[in-house]
Structure formats: C-alpha cells, structure tokens
Amino acid sequence: MSGRILPEEMTDPGWEDLCHLAIQICDVATAFIAFHDCDGVLIKSWAGKVALQSCAIPPDSPFAVVTSSFLMIEDLTASKVFCRHGSVVQEPFWRFYAAMPFASVEGGPPMGFLGLLDTAPHDLTPAQIASLRRLSAQAARLGELRRLRDLDGAMRRLGHELTHRVKNALAVVQAILNLSARSSTTIDAFKEAFAARLGFFSKLQSLVGGDSWQAIRFDRIASAALGPYENQLDAPIESCGPPAELATDLAIMLGMVLHELVVNAARFGGFSNPAGRLHICWSMERRDGKSFFCLNWREHDGPPVLLPDHEGFGLKLLRRVLAAQFHAEIDLVFAPEGLFLSLLIPLGNAEVEMKPSTSLPAVQPVGGPSI
C-alpha cells in the first residue's frame, strides 16, 4: 500500500520509491517523506501496511519536532513526549518512530525528514541507519529538483505574462497616440494631451504587479484618477463601491476613461467651479447567471452642459474600446444639469488582447468640450 496524500502536482513519484526502499531496508510497517511548512509539516508521500490519513502534521505534534540529527524512539509508550499521543494510545497504536532529517543542497536547517513508523517496538542497526541517511539525502535532491522545476515553470509563466502585458501596453500607447492626434486641433494641443494621457497611463501601470498581475482593484483606479481634484471642490467627491477586482486590461481602460471624464469635468463640467459636485458609484452584479461590473458617474451643480461638437478621445475610448472590445453597454447623457455616464460591462470577456487603433477614420476636430 502506498500513496501521495497531496495532489499529484505537489509531490514526486521518486519519493514513493524511497519510502518503499526504507521499509525494505529497515523492516518497518510504514515510511513517509515530509517537508516543513509554515503551518507545520506536510507529508509529501508514504508507503507501507498502515495508511496515513492526513497530509499535515500539526506544529504542536511531537512528530513535527525534528532536530538536526537522527531521532529514534524504540518504544513510544515509554517516551514521556509521545506516550499520550492519539496515534499511540489509539489506532493505529504506533510503538516505534524514527526520523532522519535532510537539508537542502545548500545546507542550512532541516527542510524535512524521512520518517519510519511501526506498530511494534523496534531498533535499527548502524547499517540500516546509514542506509536511511543516504535515502534521506536522495529525498532532499528530489525536493531540490522539484523546486527547480517549479521555479522554471513560474519563470515561464511570468515571461508569458510579461510579454502579454508589454504587448498590450504598447497597443494602448499606440491607441493613445492615434486618438490624441485625431482629437487635437494644434500640435501644441496634441503634445499637451498626449503627455497627460501617457503620464496617467504610466501611473496606472504602477498599480499592476504586487501579489497579482491579473487584476487591479477599481477603487485604486478611481483614487488615482480623482485624487488630484479632491481639494478643488467645496464638498468632497461622493464615491461608493466595493473593493472590486477587475482584470488588468479592463481596469486600465476604465482608468483612461475616468481620466478623460475628470479632465473634461475640470475644463467644462462639475470640477470647473467650486460649487460643482460629483457622485461616482460602482458595483458587481449578477444577471441571468452572468457577472457584470456597473459604473455610474454623475456631475451636477456645475455650468450648463453643452453637447460636444466633435468626438473626443473619451468618446472614442467608450465606443471603440469599451463597447467594441469589452462589450460594454453605455448610457451617456449630456443633461443640462450635469453629465451622466452609466457602464454595464460583462466580466466574462474582461481579459482580451488589446488591438491598436491604426485604422480609425479621421475626425476633423473643432473647438468645444469633448470627452
């Protein structure tokens, strides 16, 4: 009888073979290989007549205490430390225990041990102990190979993720360049708008990373966009919403949309005078078994809103990126009392490959507000 206890991807068949060899050499009922973990000791593999039922040895268990030298208890019932342990006084009534520690190939404290158990008192000869030491060293080598394979896999995944992020970032920069050029009336206006958008995009990129490159909390995106304007109004910005995590590609695009909304509000809308107000609210919703991200942006008490006389960068982002690539439902109202925007975005399509806007039709811009 043998087993791995942990999922196959967390163990190695070679450890099971070592357990079988330890049983044959030392003539015991059960052998196992365990590694130290922050929560105690994890049994990676075992073999023998008596099955081990758990993959974890609690840190307060005497079986989890391993010194830097070989440990052997010939009769557990005679040990003050082990005699009252549940597995000694109850099934399977262990009587013998030995543990040969092993360290990593670089040395240092023990990283794990090869353990032996039997239901009868036992003793090991010097030759058996020497063989057990060689088997435990082999277990350490297998553990190191396993760690290197896992590290190689992690590096490959990181490289793939980095390639994806760089490719998307370059596509976004190209889109910012193209859309800014088509929405600017002069070279100086283009330079100013492009620099501001590129600067904010760089700020958004700094939010990527940490624990995960896969998602960004929307409240952090909103804070990055609104933070510089919070002190310009007589009343604080009203915001509400959970710490919703969104796929990075979607979060970046929503951040760019917020930036355009904020810039437009500062020039023509609710941020253009101290009496202006802004309410922004977001939520995660389930509709017909599908997940959606909902965002509402409402300005009021600013100057009267005029309909834009050309399609600005913000409108292009809404219609040609959020709507086309993320399938967002958009409700944009240029109400006289203040701009209102509502977005409903299905999350199943949140992680997409960004497409550079290289073939957009030219737009002849004129003066007036735009988003």
Residue 332 belongs to domain with CATH number = 3.30.565.10
The residue whose two tokens read 């002190």 is 231
Is-contact 234 221, C-beta < 8 A? no
Judge contact between 267 and 232, C-beta under 8 A.
no
Placement of tokens 């010939």 in the chain: 74
> Among the three residues 135, 151, 167, which one is the final residue of a domain in this structure?
151
| 276, 233 contact by CB (below 8 A) | yes
Q: Which CATH number characterizes residue 33's domain? A: 3.30.450.40
pLDDT per residue, tens digit, the chain (371 aa), is 444 444 444 456 788 888 899 999 999 999 988 887 766 778 888 888 776 655 667 766 777 776 778 989 899 999 888 888 888 888 888 999 999 988 776 667 788 888 899 999 989 999 999 998 898 888 888 877 877 777 777 778 777 767 766 777 777 787 778 777 777 778 888 888 888 888 888 888 877 755 556 788 888 888 888 887 776 666 667 888 888 888 888 888 898 899 888 888 888 877 777 778 888 999 999 888 889 999 999 988 888 888 877 777 888 888 888 888 889 999 999 888 889 999 999 987 444 334 443 332 232 232 333 33
Number of domains in the chain: 2
Instruction: List residues bridging with 33 in a β-sheet.
Output: 45, 114
Together in a domain, 147 and 188: no
DSSP E strand boundaries for 38-95: 40-48, 56-57, 71-73
Its pTM stands at 0.55
Same domain, 338 and 210: yes
In a domain, 164, yes or no: no
Query: Can you give the residue range of the structural domain that contains 291?
Result: 183-349
Judge whether 167 lies within some domain. no
Full strand arrangement of the beta sheet holding 277-287: 238-240, 277-287, 290-300, 338-346, 329-335
Q: Rounded distance, CA 324 to CA 327, Å?
A: 6
Examine the domain organization and report whether 81 and 143 are in the same domain: yes
One domain for residues 22 and 122:
yes
Q: Are residues 104 and 238 in the same domain?
A: no
Q: Is residue 366 in a domain?
A: no
SS3 content of the chain, % helix, strand, coil (to 5): 40, 25, 35
Contacting residues for 84 by C-beta, under 8 A, at least 6 apart:
none
Q: Are residues 125 and 191 in the same domain?
A: no
In a domain, 60, yes or no: yes
59 in a structural domain: yes
Q: Are 105 and 215 within one domain?
A: no
Are residues 234 and 106 located together in one domain of the fold?
no
Same domain, 22 and 62: yes
Instruction: For residues 336 and 242, state if they share a domain.
Output: yes
The answer to whether residues 82 and 187 belong to one domain is no
Instruction: Provide the residue type at 153 as one letter.
Output: G
Other CB atoms within 10 A of residue 215 CB: 17
